[in-house]
Amino acid sequence: MIAAAKMPLIDDTYCLPSNLPNTPEMHSTTSSQTSHAISLTLFCKVVDNYGDIGICWRLARQLAHEHGVAVTLWVDDLASFRSICPEVDSSADVQDVQGIAVQHWRDQNGVFAAGDVADIVVEFFACDIPPGYIKAMSECAPRPVWLNLEGLTAETWVEGCHTLPSPHPQLPLTKYFFFPGFNRRTGGLQLESGLIAQREAFLADPRAASDFLAQFGVTETEMRALKVSLFCYPQAPIAALFAAWQASGQAVLCLVPEGVGGDAVTDFLGQPSTAGAHATRGALTVRVLPFVPQPDYDKLLWACDVNFVRGEDSFVRAQWAAKPFIWHIYPQDENLHHVKLKAFLSTSPAATPSLTALALAWNGATGDGIDIAALWRNMQADLPNIARLSMDWERVLLANGDLATNLLKFAETVPPRV
Q: Return d(Cα 20, Cα 340) in angstroms, integer.
A: 25
- 252 & 329 share domain: yes
Segment 113-128 shows an average pLDDT of 96
Are 188 and 403 contacting, i.e. CB atoms less than 8 angstroms apart? Answer: yes
Dihedral (Cα; 157, 146, 58, 324), 10-degree rounding: 0
Q: Return d(Cα 381, Cα 402) in angstroms, integer.
A: 33
pLDDT digits (tens, 9 = 90+) for 288-301: 999 999 999 999 99
Are 145 and 119 contacting, i.e. CB atoms less than 8 angstroms apart? Answer: yes
Q: What domain range is 167 assigned to?
A: 24-189+400-413
- 39 & 72 share domain: yes
- 128 & 221 share domain: no
Segment 253-271 shows an average pLDDT of 96
In terms of Cβ atoms closer than 10 Å to its own Cβ (0-12, 13-18, 19+), residue 35 is: exposed
pLDDT digits (tens, 9 = 90+) for 383-396: 999 999 999 999 99
With CA atoms as reference, report the closest residue to 105 among 87, 120, 119, 124.
124
- 185 & 206 share domain: no
**pLDDT above 90 as % of the chain:** 85
How many structural domains are present in the chain? Answer: 2
- 404 & 384 share domain: no
Q: What local confidence, expressed as pLDDT, does residue 8 receive?
A: 29
Domain assignment present for residue 202? The answer is yes
Q: What local confidence, expressed as pLDDT, does residue 334 receive?
A: 86
- 296 & 313 share domain: yes
- 259 & 339 share domain: yes
Domain assignment present for residue 263? The answer is yes
Query: Over the range 302-311, which residues count as b (16 or more CB within 10 Å of their CB) and which as e?
Result: bbbbbbbbbb
- 316 & 199 share domain: yes
* Strands 278-281 and 284-289, sheet pairing: antiparallel
- 183 & 248 share domain: no
- 348 & 292 share domain: yes
Domain assignment present for residue 11? The answer is no
Which residues touch 201 (CB under 8 Å, ≥6 apart)?
208
Segment 10-24 shows an average pLDDT of 34
Domain assignment present for residue 2? The answer is no
pTM score: 0.89
Mean pLDDT, the chain, integer: 91
Q: What local confidence, expressed as pLDDT, does residue 36 receive?
A: 56
Spot the catalytic one: 48, 52, 119, 222.
52
Task: Please indicate whether residue 128 is annotated as part of the active site.
Answer: no
Task: Please indicate whether residue 96 is annotated as part of the active site.
Answer: no
Domain assignment present for residue 13? The answer is no
- 140 & 255 share domain: no
SS3 label, residue 345: helix
> 23-32, 265-274, 405-414: which has the minimum mean pLDDT?
23-32
Spot the catalytic one: 77, 222, 298, 312.
312
The answer on pLDDT for 30 being more than 60 is no
- 124 & 40 share domain: yes
The answer on pLDDT for 10 being more than 60 is no
Domain with residue 256: its CATH number is 3.40.50.2000
Q: What local confidence, expressed as pLDDT, does residue 50 receive?
A: 80
pLDDT digits (tens, 9 = 90+) for 70-100: 999 999 999 999 999 999 999 999 999 999 9
The answer on pLDDT for 11 being more than 70 is no
How far apart are the two ends of the chain, measured CA to CA in Å? 10
